[in-house]
Chains A and B, each alone.
Chain A
Amino acid sequence: MTPRAVIIACFAAILGAAIATDLVARRAGSAVRPLSATLAAALRARGGRVLLLGAWLWLGWHFLAR
């Protein structure tokens, strides 16, 4: 397996883990809340809003403009 294939597999595994976690979190009785609910809770604080919106702006710059 080439280094490139390993890196792509790792990115896919991280994405898969995030999707699986979100699906498990949406089941009744789960101790973990879905990503959307967690982000919404983080956005209640001004610090969380600054951090998340800053990350969002950086992602736009990095992927679309850089």
Chain B
Amino acid sequence: MDPVRQAADGGQRPLSRRRAAVIAAVVAYALVAGVFRPFSNAALGAVLVAGIPLCWAGVRRRPRRAEPVGRRSAAVWLGVGVVAGAFELAVLLGPDDAAHPTLSLLADPLLDTYPGRVLGYLLWLGAGLWLVSR
């Protein structure tokens, strides 16, 4: 059996070479980008060098077929997003101190470490690739 092909989805769907290459590239990117500390031009460059091309490709790409979900689903998930955004905004506009932390401030202890940043880049780029591939 091809060493690149491995069982996924209960052994029914093999991992293609292309998918393996994408996963390897994402991991390599995260390992390199994680070196750069937040608030640096290098970190900004690392985000933009992956983010701009993915956004460009995602906007230009013809989307896959997806089932319509109905207004109730849209309303429920939009509601969750609005509540989360409004709460974050309310905290942001409140006192600017450690006693009133925003979500990004709470994430700082994790993102101050190299493994935390690698994990952050993996999650972020993984989410972006998922969005672009829909």
Contact = CB atoms under 8 A, between A and B. Distances in A.
Say what secondary structure dominates the interface of chain B: helix
Contacts of A61: 44, 47-48, 51
A42 B131 CA distance: 10
Contacts of B73: 25, 31-33, 37-38, 41
B99 to A, nearest CB: 5
Say what secondary structure dominates the interface of chain A: helix
Interface in A7-66: 7-8, 10-11, 14, 17-18, 21, 25, 31-33, 35, 37-44, 46, 49-50, 52-54, 56-57, 59-66
Interface of B: 33, 38-40, 43-44, 46-48, 50-52, 54-55, 58-59, 63-70, 72-74, 76-77, 80, 83-84, 87, 91, 98-101, 103-104, 106-107, 111, 117, 120-121, 124, 127-128, 131-132, 134
24 contacts: A3-B99, A4-B98, A8-B101, A14-B80, A18-B84, A21-B76, A21-B77, A33-B73, A37-B73, A40-B134, A41-B69, A43-B63, A52-B131, A53-B54, A53-B132, A56-B131, A60-B124, A64-B38, A64-B117, A64-B120, A65-B43, A65-B47, A66-B39, A66-B104
